[in-house]
A = this chain, B = another copy of it.
Amino acid sequence: MKQLQDRIRAEGRVLPGNIIKVDGFLNHRVDTALMRDMAKEFKSLFDLTGLTAVLTVEASGIALATICAEEFGVPMVFAKKAKSDNIEGGLYKSDIYSYTYKKKFTLIVASQWLNSSDKVFVVDDFLANGEALRGLVEIVEEAGAELLGIGVAIEKGFQPGGQRLRDAGVHLESLAIIERADENGVVFREE
């Protein structure tokens, strides 16, 4: 998506350790008009017939997922990140490892908000190692729901998460795939 690539080029900052900071428009200060355009782009890229819910994970996926859910006319559900102990019943859960925070989390979704009649579109702002998305896919499976696809804003193409999901047969679309990011700038995968 050219508009997103242009924003990353103009406003993104590359930090040591392959960190791409886009906190001016995506995940700290959020440009909601850009979110709306991304939601429309997802609409054109996926067959969302019968969709019943948009699923994401707190916190930085929520803004994009909210606009997507409104655009598609379905509720938005966000998984919560819990410490692995002391989790009550009536929940779907999936253990993931966060490379950002260097610790384990359990993603949880109350089982009353997803079931086997649901058709789910999963959304997140970033995809690198893919742990959060793997967890969300597990929760969709646990619910017996159908996964219609995964929409991501920015994928780090040089990390393995995206490839793993595509190899598993998931319909995944990332609106900008970064192949390389260093002091010379950002190079995107050809669309």
Chain A residues with CB under 8 Å of chain B are 23-25, 28-33, 35-36, 53, 58-60, 62-63, 66-67, 69-70, 75-78, 80, 109-110, 112-113
Contacts and interface: CB of A to CB of B under 8 A. Distances in A.
Q: Mostly helix, strand, loop or mixed at chain A's interface?
A: mixed
A32 B62 contact: no
Contacts of A23: 110, 113
Q: Looking at A36, A62, A67, A80, which has the most chain B CB atoms within 10 Å of its CB?
A: A62
Contacts of A31: 75
Nearest to A81: B59
B80 A32 contact: no
A97 B109 CA distance: 25
A66 B35 contact: yes
6 contacts: A24-B113, A25-B75, A30-B69, A58-B58, A63-B66, A63-B78
Contacts of A28: 77-78, 80, 109-110, 113
Contact of A30 (B30, B78, B109): B78
A60 B79 CA distance: 11
The 5 closest A-B pairs by CB, nearest first: A58-B59, A32-B70, A59-B59, A62-B62, A29-B113
